[in-house]
A and B are shown apart, each in its own frame.
Chain A
Amino acid sequence: MTLSSIDYQIMWRRLIAVVEEQATTLVRTAFSTSVREAGDLSAGLFDSKARMIAQAVTGTPGHVNAMAESVGHFVNEIGKKNIFEGDVYITNDPWKGTGHLHDITMVTPVFRSREHIGFFACTAHVVDIGGRGFGPDASEVYEEGLLIPITKFAERGIINELLLKMVRANVRTPDQTVGDIFSLVACNDAGNSRLQTMMTEFRLNDIEGLSDFIVEASREATHTAILELDDGRFENSMQVDGYEAPVHMQVAIKIEGPNLAADFTGTSGMSAFGVNVPEVYTRAYACYALKCAIAPDVPNNFGSLYPFEVSAPAGSILAARRPAPVSVRHVLGHLIPDVIFGALDLALPNTIPAEGASALWNVQISARPCVPDCNLPSRELLLFNSGGTGARPTSDGLSATAFPSGVSTMSIEATENVGPIIVWRKDLREGSGGAGSQRGGLGQTIEIEPLEGYDFYFNAMFDRVENPARGRKGGKPGWAGRVELADGTMLRSKGRQFVRNGSRLKLSLPGGGGYGIANKRDKKNIEADILGGFITKQQARDDYGFEG
Chain B
Amino acid sequence: MRVRLGVDIGGTFTDVALDTSAGLVTTKVLTDITAPESAIFEGIKKVCKTAGIELDEIDQIIHGTTLVTNSVIERRGAKTAFVTTEGFRDVIEMRSENRFEQYDLNLTLPVPLVPRKDRLTVHERVAASGDILLELDDGDVERLVELVAKGAYESVAIGFMHAYVNPAHERKIAKALSEAMPDIFISLSSVVSPQMRELPRFNSVIVNAYVQPQIAAYLKRLVSEIKDIGINSQVFMMHSGGGIISVETAIEQPVRLLESGPAAGAIYAAGYAGTHGIEKALSFDMGGTTAKICMINQGAPKSANTFEIARSYRFKKGSGITVSTPVVEMVEIGAGGGSIASVDKLGRIQVGPISAGSEPGPACYQNGGNSATVTDANLIVGRLDPDKFAGGEIPLDPQLASAAIDRDISRLLNLPIMDTAFGITEMVDENMANAARVHTVEHGEDIEQFTMIAFGGGAPLHASRLCDKIGIKRILIPPGAGVGSAIGFLRAPFSYEATRGFYQALETFDINAVNTMLEDLEEEAKSFVTMGVGTADTEKQLRVFMRYVGQGWEIPVLPDVMRFAEADVVNLCKCFEETYRAVFGRTIDDLDMEITNWSVTIATAVSTSNMIPKSESQQIATIESDCTLFDARTRQALKTSKVRRADMITGDFVVGPAIITEDDTSTVVSTQYRAIMQSNGSLLIEHQELKS
Contact = CB atoms under 8 A, between A and B. Distances in A.
Contacts of A503: none
Interface string B70-101: 00000000000000001111110110111100
Contacts of B415: 5-6
Interface string A177-198: 0010011001000100000010
Interface of B (DSSP majority class): loop
A20 to B, nearest CB: 6
Contact of B427 (A13, A24, A36, A428): A13
Contact of A422 (B109, B125, B471, B589): B125
Contacts of B422: 6
A532 interface: yes
Taking residues whose C-beta sits less than 8 angstroms from the other chain, chain A's interface range is 35 or more
A451 B419 CA distance: 67
Contacts of A57: 102
Q: Which of B346, B583, B590 has the most CB of A within 10 A?
A: B346
A28 to B, nearest CB: 7
Interface string A293-337: 100111100000000000000000000000000000000000000
B87 A427 contact: yes
B130 to A, nearest CB: 11
B99 A402 contact: yes
Contact of A6 (B423, B469, B634): B423
B110 to A, nearest CB: 12
A176 interface: yes
B423 A9 contact: yes
A413 to B, nearest CB: 5
B162 interface: yes
Nearest to B121: A427
Nearest to B470: A197
Q: Which of B348, B349, B442, B590 has the most CB of A within 10 A?
A: B348
A205 interface: no
A414 interface: yes
Interface string A193-232: 0000100010000000000000001100100100000000
Contacts of A143: none
Nearest to A304: B346
B35 interface: no
A180 B596 CA distance: 24
A370 B670 CA distance: 72
B116 A532 contact: yes
A394 interface: yes
Contact of A13 (B96, B434, B586): B434
Given A6-B422, A410-B552, A21 B438 contact: yes
Interface in A142-175: 175
Interface stretch (A131-139, A257-265, A384-392): A384-392
Contacts of B634: 1
Given A28-B442, A351-B105, A427-B88, A9 B127 contact: no
A363 interface: no
A413 B162 contact: yes
A89 interface: no
Interface string B58-71: 00000000000000
Contact of A10 (B117, B426, B551, B553): B426
A447 B128 CA distance: 16
B442 A427 contact: no
A31 interface: yes
B533 interface: no
Interface of B: 86-91, 93-94, 96-99, 102-109, 115-117, 125, 127-128, 133, 161-162, 196-199, 344-349, 413, 415, 419, 422-423, 426-427, 430-431, 434, 437-438, 441-442, 469, 471, 501, 503, 548-553, 583-586, 588-591, 596, 634-635
Interface of A: 1, 4-6, 9-10, 12-14, 17, 20-21, 24-25, 28-29, 31, 33, 36-37, 57, 61, 175-176, 179, 182-183, 186, 190, 197, 201, 217-218, 221, 224, 291-293, 296-299, 351-353, 384-386, 392, 394-395, 398-403, 406-414, 416-418, 422-428, 444, 447, 451, 531-534
